Amino acid sequence: MIGRLAVLLVGASALSLLIGDGFIGTAPWPVITDIRLPRILLAVLVGGGLGLSGAVLQGVLRNPLADPGLLGVTGSAGLGAVVVFYWGLAASFAPALPLGGLAGAVAGTACLLLFAGRTPSGPSLILAGVAVSAVAGALLTLALTLAPNPFALAEVTFWLLGGLENRTLFHVALAAPPILLGALILLRLGPGLDALSLGEDTAASLGVPVGRTLMLAAAGTALAAGAGASVAGGIGFVGLVVPHLLRARMGERPSAILPAAFLAGACLLLTADTLLRLLPWVLPLSQPPPLGALTALFGTPFLVAIARRMAP
Amino acid sequence: MIGLTRQTVALGGRTILRDVSFTPRPRELTALCGPNGAGKTTLLRALAGLLPNTSRPDPRQAAYLPQSARSAWGLTVRQVAELGRIPHGDSSAAPVERALHLCGVEALRDIRIDRISGGEMRRAMLARAFATEPEVFLLDEPTADLDPAAAHDVMRLLRRTADAGRAVVVVLHAIDLALRYADRVVLLRDGRIEADLPASQALPKAAALFGLPYGLDPTPRLLPPN
């Protein structure tokens, strides 16, 4: 499965390198290195971080509906970016936007761990996540109503929808270290997740430090998904759908799907981002739709299918 | 060594165990019996170190089976048993195979645990505890959900396990199983140990505890296997 996903990822990258507005003819290098390559790298990093975070969160919370958005990580990244916008920092200093998003994700996770308590359990972490999401959402709405002008409002809204256009290698350099570090933390949680399938008591009796596993899962998600949200905005459903797709093919043992979840998330987001550039050619659109809208649109049928399969 | 000395446990402002002392002994099968809410499960969880102010035993030395063991995901029976190897940090096949055989779930090994019956699931969870190969077994109602023959099978397995030198502590509602297979019966009421005595002498006290009459005369009932 890992091998097949790797081949798929290489194929999707090649396709993504060839498809788009820029014309690869006389001077291919600027188009490839300045436009397409950052976009491919970001899709792989952001999608992989989302897929892996989703797989770990669903495992650690024993909840098939968990995803990075549930813990408020995506929401607080959005809030961080909007605060930067509101202060007008983004206009004078372009990297301020993703840096603000990253700061928001880190602050959101700090609140999450604070709300959940010193030795969190699954339900307390979910409730803390809902609380962080709600506060971030409320403050975001407040910031939007205080927006200095309609132009800023439109730009923020578009950014919140999520997307990968007009990103540079700077964004890659900003997002790669936290995403890869978060992925490393999350990949090491495998045996703990397996033990947690039987509940927190049994896992503890097997010698798994349950509270620490939950905290590491939250911290790893903040890095892997929060950094992604800070450069690509709020892209939903990848973290939710990827683990379900893999479980149907690889069995349900939580540790078995972890590395594959990174690769599958990367494939999914890269393919979505490539297809999105083709849409204006087949549909009467002035510009490609936001990536976040596309993933949500394609993610919803999966969610319905999952719900139907879970019904007795 | 695992044990409690004058342990008091309060959960959510309610005292559940009062001044309880209990130590499982090797080669001994102990049954914890008592009415609902007497504190049997809490005593077992305290032994497993899962409550505040209790010490956690070495996970390689003690295996704990909770009352309502369920798997959140559709692991196969074999994958569930393999979880018992986590404390040892290995995935050696031999203990897992032995455990599946002992608990009579070899034939189900590749079937998902959410696709088998409640009694089969119970035995798969027991196989997880056996795969750890611990010195002390802490089992909360291992015979719940089992048909009468399977319940006797499990109790005989636990009897053999104790005879092989392990300490086995079982929460049991079936007093007849406790009296037949256990060495020692601990009777609990309202968080206190009312009596701690050899199984052969436990029937009068157990009957008094539940407020039921008892008799030795044969009545129409299922007999244990020969």
Complex prediction ipTM: 0.92
Residues in chain B whose Cβ is within 8 Å of chain A: 45, 48-50, 56, 59-60, 62-66, 69-76, 79-80, 83-84, 86-87, 112, 125, 128, 132
Burial A7-33 (b: 16+ CB within 10 A, else e): ebbeebbeebbebbeeeeeeeeeebee
End-to-end Cα separation, chain A, in angstroms: 29
Give yes or no: residues B81 and B144 share one domain: no
More confident of the two residues B122 and A297: B122
Homologous superfamily of A2-310:
ABC transporter involved in vitamin B12 uptake, BtuC (1.10.3470.10)
* Same domain membership, residue B140 and residue B122: no
Of B83, B107, B133, the position where a domain reaches its end is B133
Mean pLDDT of A130-137: 91
Residue reference for tokens 């969870």: B125
- Four-CA torsion B100, B104, B109, B113, nearest 10 degrees: -110
Is the predicted pLDDT of residue A22 greater than 70, yes or no?
A: no
Query: How far apart, in whole angstroms, are the C-alpha atoms of residue A105 and residue A94?
Result: 19
Q: Give the number of domains in chain B.
A: 2
Token pair listed for A118 = 């010193």
Domain match, B54 and B143 both:
yes
Q: Do B59 and A206 touch (CB under 8 A)?
A: yes
Closest CA to A164 of A307, A305, A50: A50
Whole-number percent of chain A with pLDDT over 70? 94
- Same domain assignment for residues B153 and B111: no
Same domain for B140 and B54, yes or no, is yes
| pLDDT exceeds cutoff 90 at A292 | no
| pLDDT at residue A23 greater than cutoff 60 | no
Interface test mutation site (partner B, options A118, A202, A213, A309, max chain B beta carbons within 10 A): A202
Residue A311, pLDDT score: 63
Q: For residue B66, give the nearest of A201, A207, A253 by CB distance.
A: A201
Q: Are residues B200 and B93 in the same domain?
A: no
> Where residue B29 sits, what CATH number does that domain have?
3.40.50.300
Low-confidence ranges of chain B (pLDDT < 50): none
Give the pLDDT confidence score for residue B103 in this predicted structure. 94
Side-chain-side CA neighbours of A280 within 13 Å: the count stands at: 12
And the tokens for A274?
Answer: 């490539």
- Picking from A21-30, A42-51, A221-230, B107-116, which range would have the lowest pLDDT averaged per residue? A21-30
User: Is position B4 within any domain?
Assistant: no
| Nearest one of A197, A195, A206 to B57, comparing CA atoms | A206
Q: Is residue B222 part of a domain?
A: no
Burial A149-176 (b: 16+ CB within 10 A, else e): eeebeebbeebbbbbbeebbeebbebbb
Beta strands in A61-188 (DSSP E): none
Residues B101 and B143 in one domain: no
Please check whether residue B218 lies inside any domain of the structure. no
φ/ψ of B11, rounded to 5, equals: -125, 125
> In angstroms, what separates the C-alpha of B131 from chain A's closest C-alpha?
12
B89, B194: one domain: no
Domain that holds residue B187: 11-61+135-210
Give a yes or no: residue B120 inside a domain.
Answer: yes
Residue A178 has pLDDT above 80, yes or no: yes
Predicted confidence (pLDDT) per residue in A140-166, tens digit: 888 888 777 777 777 777 777 888 887
Mean pLDDT of A60-80: 86
Residues B147 and B181 in one domain: yes
| One domain, residues B84 and B187 | no
CA-based nearest distance A2→chain B, Å? 20
Q: Do residues B116 and B160 share a domain?
A: no
Pair B17, B129 in one domain: no
Q: What distance in Å separates the CA atoms of residue A223 and residue A230, rounded to the nearest whole number?
A: 10
pLDDT at A112 over 90: no
* Residue pair B114/B74 in contact by the 8 Å Cβ criterion: yes
**Other Cβ atoms closer than 10 A to B220:** 4
Domain boundaries, chain A: 2-310
Closest to A168 in 3D by CA, of A277, A38, A270, A47: A38
Pairwise CA distance, residues A290 & B71, whole Å: 39
Query: Does the CB of A198 have a partner CB in chain B at under 8 Å?
Result: yes
